[in-house]
Homo-oligomer: A and B are copies of this chain.
Amino acid sequence: MKTLIPILLVSTAMTGAAFADDLRATALEQFKPLPSTVPNVADNPTSPEKVDLGRALFFDPRLSASGVFSCYSCHNLTTGGDDNLETSIGHGWQKGPRNSPTVLNSVLNEAQFWDGRADDLKAQAKGPIQAGVEMANTPENVVVTLNSMPDYVAMFGTAFADDAEPVSFDNMARAIESFEATLITPAPFDAYLNGDDTALNDDEKAGLALFIDKGCSSCHSGVNVGGHGYYPFGLVEKPGADILPVGDKGRFKVTETVDDEYVFRAAPLRNVTVTAPYFHSGKVWDLKVAVQIMAESQLGEELSDTETDQIVAFLGTLEGAVPPVTLPTLPAETASTPRPTAEVK
């Protein structure tokens, strides 16, 4: 775990070009603009065929036992790549344990899920499909489902031409990862990092300076302004049990190390303005309140109203453009496609 060191105290009295260049230079030490091309994914070389297959799978409700939920249900691309719910509602109207994180730019996170228990998106994609409170399906039933539709068999055959058995649960996950890797959302902050001074207004720049100065960027840094590194929620002061429920010990469940109790991956903050409610518990709807809670619990800082507003203004510059996604037409079921079941086991 990193120690919290306020890396640079930006003088907010600095003005003009020198300030602008200094702020950008400092920002570039902590953050990275999004790449201009689809990121390469380890062990999963992309191809247009794989992306097309992944898009189809991402939207396919038949990956769930009930036929009601697809990846898109909780990672809705029209509303910031998440579902805007406290925690997701899944199979049998069950509530999931944690807030659904955005799929946008998620390929650039160091690890997936709030506790980082999946190394990458292809590991992540297999989780919700099998979770009893989410899509409640089994790998076996998924493979039977996919094999029952000749168009899917053909698409897998093309996307995984070198595989002896192209249709598999693993290849399903690989294709979904390839599609999700395309969901990169360049934002005004990227334009700023890339050299465009006009991309951020004065309040947003002041917010950026505060974000660094106060120490937020000690954890929320890198290309996704977070999404890597693990930190206790309540490093300085534990928030209330409404926001940090005692039953969810975070990364402790992954590592079984006492030090990891209530430890979570620092949330990636791109598109945070459109992914309320906040925190793994999804209990806070107001971004301003979320920023104040973070400052107090993680940094022991009491932010003024203006400071909070400026940080929120800066966070707004992380809201990017979702690439155009055209809905696929999915393969039709056949007589051998397993029937959906709403039954809760």
Q: Could you tell me if B333 and A84 are in contact, using CB atoms closer than 8 angstroms?
A: yes
Tell me whether A160 is interfacial, beta carbon within 8 Å.
Answer: no
Majority SS at the chain A contact face: loop
Q: How many residues of A are in contact with the other chain, CB < 8 A?
A: 41
Copies of this chain, count: 2
Highest count of chain B CB atoms <10 Å: which of A89, A95, A325: A89
Tell me whether A61 is interfacial, beta carbon within 8 Å.
Answer: yes
Tell me whether A286 is interfacial, beta carbon within 8 Å.
Answer: yes
Tell me whether A36 is interfacial, beta carbon within 8 Å.
Answer: no
Residue among B77, B89, B339 making CB contact with A68, cutoff 8 Å:
B89
Inter-chain CA distance A76–B339, complex, in Å, is: 17
Q: Could you tell me if B78 and A60 are in contact, using CB atoms closer than 8 angstroms?
A: yes
Q: Could you tell me if A79 and B61 are in contact, using CB atoms closer than 8 angstroms?
A: yes
Tell me whether A332 is interfacial, beta carbon within 8 Å.
Answer: yes
Highest count of chain B CB atoms <10 Å: which of A68, A92, A326: A68
Tell me whether A317 is interfacial, beta carbon within 8 Å.
Answer: no
Question: Which of chain A's residues 66-97 have a Cβ closer than 8 Å to chain B?
Answer: 66-68, 73, 76-80, 83-85, 89, 92-93, 95
Inter-chain CA distance A61–B76, complex, in Å, is: 9
